[in-house]
């Protein structure tokens, strides 16, 4: 029987959702929305360095998550360290014993880095430290979670990379940020070509009113007229719920 007239709300299924950078900004707003789109007995892993902010967020979600029997874990780690990535994979492995229909990994955490002329980056340690959080950690984390949840029939697998127009556009004095976002875009395109069962999306969220955007204004004087995070979160949720984007696509907020 066709379900074309069905009023059943669309959901992300009974899943495990991992959101990096969930303590503030876009990641925090997204965690609120995702928690309401997962089916009962799903699991949410919230990752950031600030354990206090994550705990506060867990408390905000508490009455709803109790009702839905949603397991929420706060993982306070530094993603630029191997131990941080390992800890997330360890917690995910403990949850893998449960019946999971959908693995949803949101690689959102990132930093702005130093906005300076190319010629100032003479210290490879400074560059490596930036790349460690912004490039190496989403690769190592995604690889670790892939090992925890290998392909099986009926398992939906989605990976979101929080990208930027700067993944496509070379902007003077933004060599760290542009390099990292371009590398991440390529990294996740490779994943989409390699693993046919995984839906991979690079989402460029548009200018959002977050700490990162405040730093941009303070450091460069440029006002990008940011929008509330909820607007961008709404568009990403639509993409995930419709699930009709091509795997590996790079989709901009203004095109949704
Ligand atoms: N804001 C914009 O206008 C804009 C535009 C285009 C793209 N983006 C992209 O959208 C994403 C979200 O940006 P946002 O503006 O929400 O950023 P944000 O406000 O700066 O938040 C960044 C998040 O990442 C976490 N984080 C930073 N360093 C970390 C580390 N070493 N280990 C673990 N977590 C870390 C932060 O938490 P802790 O400090 O607690 O660790 C925070 O939760 C980023 O990928 C950004 O590049 C943003």
pLDDT band at 7 (very low <50, low <70, confident <90, very high): low
Distance CA 255, CA 58 (A): 32
Interacting residues of 53 by C-beta distance below 8 A, sequence separation 6+: 23, 24, 28
Which two structure tokens, joined as six digits, stand for 15?
Answer: 């899943």
Distances (CA, A) of 246 to 37, 58, 124, 145, 238: 21, 33, 37, 22, 14
d(CA 211, CA 55): 19
pLDDT tens digits, 170-204: 999 999 999 999 999 999 999 999 999 999 999 99
Ligand 1, atom 7: nearest CA belongs to which residue?
164
- Give helix 175-194 / helix 137-148 axis angle, nearest 10°: 20
Q: Which two tokens stand for residue 46?
A: 């919230």
> Is the model's pLDDT at 2 over the cut of 70?
no
Q: Say whether pLDDT at 211 is over 50.
A: yes
**Residue 2 C-alpha to ligand 1 middle, in angstroms?**
42
- Distance (Å, whole) CA 206 – CA 229: 9
Confidence class for position 3, pLDDT limits 50, 70, 90: very low
pLDDT range class, residue 1, cuts 50, 70, 90: very low
132, 219 Cβ separation under 8 angstroms? no
Of the candidates 215, 200, 180, 181, the residue with the CA atom closest to the CA atom of residue 246: 200
Pocket lining for ligand 1, CB < 6 angstroms: 21-27, 48-50, 53, 78-80, 108-111, 133, 162, 164, 205, 207-208, 210-213, 226
**Residue range 212-239, pLDDT digits in tens:** 999 999 999 999 999 999 999 999 999 9
Instruction: Identify each DSSP E strand in 163-242 by its residue range.
Output: 198-204
Q: 64: pLDDT confidence band, cut at 50, 70 and 90?
A: confident
Average pLDDT rounded to a whole number, residues 242-250: 97
Q: Which ligand 1 atom minimizes the distance to the CA of 25?
A: 16
Q: What is the pLDDT of residues 86-122, one digit of tens each?
A: 999 999 999 997 789 999 999 999 999 999 999 999 9
Domains of the chain plus CATH, in order, are: 15-255 (3.40.50.720)
| pTM (predicted TM-score) | 0.96
Å from CA of 27 to ligand 1 middle: 7
What is the chain's mean pLDDT, rounded? 95
Q: Whose CA is nearest to atom 47 of ligand 1?
A: 110
Interval between CA 35 and ligand 1 midpoint (Å): 19
pLDDT digits (tens, 9 = 90+) for 37-53: 999 999 999 999 999 99
Taking CA atoms only, the protein residue closest to ligand 1 atom 43 is 21
State the Cα–Cα distance between residues 67 and 166, nearest whole angstrom. 41
Structure tokens at 156: 């939906």
Residue to mutate, 57, 110, 138, ligand 1, most ligand atoms under 8 Å from C-beta = 110
């Amino acid at each position: 029987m066709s379900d074309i007239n069905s009023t059943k709300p669309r959901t992300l299924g009974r899943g495990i959702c991992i959101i990096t950078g969930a303590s503030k900004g876009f990641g925090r707003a997204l965690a609120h929305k995702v928690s309401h789109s997962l089916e009962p007995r799903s699991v949410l892993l919230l990752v950031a360095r600030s354990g206090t902010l994550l705990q506060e967020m867990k408390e905000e979600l508490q009455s709803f998550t109790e009702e839905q029997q949603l397991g929420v874990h706060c993982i306070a780690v530094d993603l630029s360290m191997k131990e941080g990535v390992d800890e997330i994979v360890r917690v995910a492995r403990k949850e893998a014993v449960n019946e999971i229909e959908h693995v949803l990994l949101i690689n959102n955490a990132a930093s702005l880095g130093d906005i300076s002329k190319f010629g100032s980056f003479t210290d490879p340690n400074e560059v490596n430290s930036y790349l460690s959080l912004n490039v190496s950690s989403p690769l190592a984390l995604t690889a670790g979670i892939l090992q925890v949840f290998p392909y099986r029939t009926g398992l939906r697998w989605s990976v979101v990379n929080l990208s930027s127009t700067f993944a496509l556009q070379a902007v003077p004095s933004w060599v760290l940020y542009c390099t990292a976002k371009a590398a991440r875009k390529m990294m996740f395109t490779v994943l989409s070509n390699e693993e046919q069962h995984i839906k991979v999306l690079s989402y460029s969220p548009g200018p959002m009113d977050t700490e990162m955007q405040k730093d941009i204004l303070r450091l460069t004087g440029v006002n990008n007229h940011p929008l509330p995070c909820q607007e961008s979160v709404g568009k990403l949720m639509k993409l995930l719920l419709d699930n009709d984007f091509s795997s590996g696509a790079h989709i901009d907020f203004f095109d949704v």
